[in-house]
Structure 1
């Protein structure tokens, strides 16, 4: 009788895991920087990335901002928790359609100017529990140059191809203002990003930031994970404040 009870519990446990969502926990860091007489302190944050079991929804939650994607509705929501507002964007994302009029032309030129070159280095690195491949990334954006090292793994419990191509790419397009050619170049990175080191040169100053995944688990997402919080105000355009949160 005990064996039967244990077997039933085991079946329910396995069944629950098969139906559960995926949670990626990530830590981020940006070094302190002094520019034009103003100093910004170093910043650390924790990011939770939830992916629905059917791989049709994804929500990235940090302290000040959330990005929610729903492939069934073909929409992405950029949520600002500071002023409790959100902007819905149609997929695939064209960020210039959601910018203030005075910024649309300038950002449009920036998007069109972006070039990206991804090079596999052939090096391997163990980060946490994941065996990762290393990539060098060079991004040029008008007068800015960004150098990145990315470590990615294919050893994840979901289809990294679908998540990367259908959802992560849309987040990158919005946050990094990437054009289609640049997005295609990023597809050369095979697997889930586990860690990255980024150095951006702006006005002669180097700005360094890092990201690292610390956990990938399966569990049920809390209610509201893939929804805009109640009471938030819908906007048609991004504000200057929204852009600074990015």
Structure 2
């Protein structure tokens, strides 16, 4: 079959562009989560976290409260995040691509870290591609601020330092309190460098990464309030377990039998 091409004219154009903007916002937040709460070390790492979302309403739709166990595997320039057995995100630094897997539908979406390449592959006129790239570039612009409060806490077996972090993007702002510990033997700096290399073309990302590096150690507990499209969303994340262990074979590959789904949607 030939490459899918999108017509960006009229009402269908607006709907497709809106869906694209939402998906790219979600994917960029996922990447930032991996960049902030992920790590990179010589040995492989496994992390088990509890993620809680409070109920909220957005665009007239009610989203119920949820609680999931999130398992993250980190290995050199690759990462995988499994959420409640329902979805997985695979980050492949070697391919500069991120995959989002829907296990119930046995489908996956492929998201290049280079957004210009993604729009070039979509088809359409050069003018349309440039317009979309400019819109997405503005939406993906990231501003980050990190403040070391000087406060310390004891969380489970870890000694933690408390930071306040603000992430600003075009579609929303997230305010977080991050309790991070240097007791866990993981070097985050190399993972920040991976993220910086992959997203270097996005406005403000290099500066955001440098700001995030002020957080010393591994985030053990994070509480966040996000304001997105007029909705307020509250969430928390707590580290339950960390091990030095290798991921199961094939963890960073697309499972057999999964079909590719357009990132833009129909």
* 1:165 partnered with 2:190: no
Shift in Å, 1:232: 2.2
Q: Distance in 1 between matches of 2:72 and 2:197?
A: 14
Shift in Å, 1:170: 7.8
Q: Distance in 2 between matches of 1:117 and 1:217?
A: 30
Aligned pairs for 1:15-164 within 5 A: 21-52=44-75, 55-62=76-83, 63-71=85-93, 73-81=94-102, 82-83=104-105, 84-87=107-110, 89=112, 93-95=113-115, 97-98=117-118, 104-112=133-141, 114-142=142-170, 144-164=172-192
Correspondence for 1:3: none
**1:217 corresponds to which of 243, 246, 255:** 243
Q: Distance in 2 between matches of 1:26 and 1:95?
A: 30
The CA RMSD over aligned residues, in Å, is: 3.2
* Higher mean C-alpha deviation, range 158-167 or range 222-231: 158-167
Q: Kindly provide the CA deviation profile for residues 49-89 of structure 1, in whole angstroms up to 9, marking residues without a partner as x.
A: 1123xx34322222343232344x34333122244123153
Q: Against the structure 1 CA distance between its residues 240 and 124, is the aligned structure 2 distance closer, same or farther, given a 3 Å change threshold?
A: farther
Correspondence for 2:233: 207
Q: Against the structure 1 CA distance between its residues 144 and 159, is the aligned structure 2 distance closer, same or farther, given a 3 Å change threshold?
A: closer
TM-score of the two chains, using structure 1 as the length reference = 0.72
| Structure 2 segments unaligned to the other structure (5+ residues) | 1-41, 123-128
Secondary structure at the counterpart of residue 211 of structure 2: helix
Assess if the C-alpha contact under 8 Å between 2:91 and 2:97 holds in 1. Answer: yes
* 1:238 partnered with 2:263: yes
Shift in Å, 1:125: 1.5
Shift in Å, 1:136: 0.7
Q: Against the structure 1 CA distance between its residues 118 and 224, is the aligned structure 2 distance closer, same or farther, given a 3 Å change threshold?
A: same
Q: Against the structure 1 CA distance between its residues 40 and 27, is the aligned structure 2 distance closer, same or farther, given a 3 Å change threshold?
A: same
Shift in Å, 1:141: 2.4
Assess if the C-alpha contact under 8 Å between 1:124 and 1:132 holds in 2. Answer: yes
TM-score of the two chains, using structure 2 as the length reference = 0.67
| Structure 1 segments unaligned to the other structure (5+ residues) | 1-18, 242-246
Larger Rg: 1
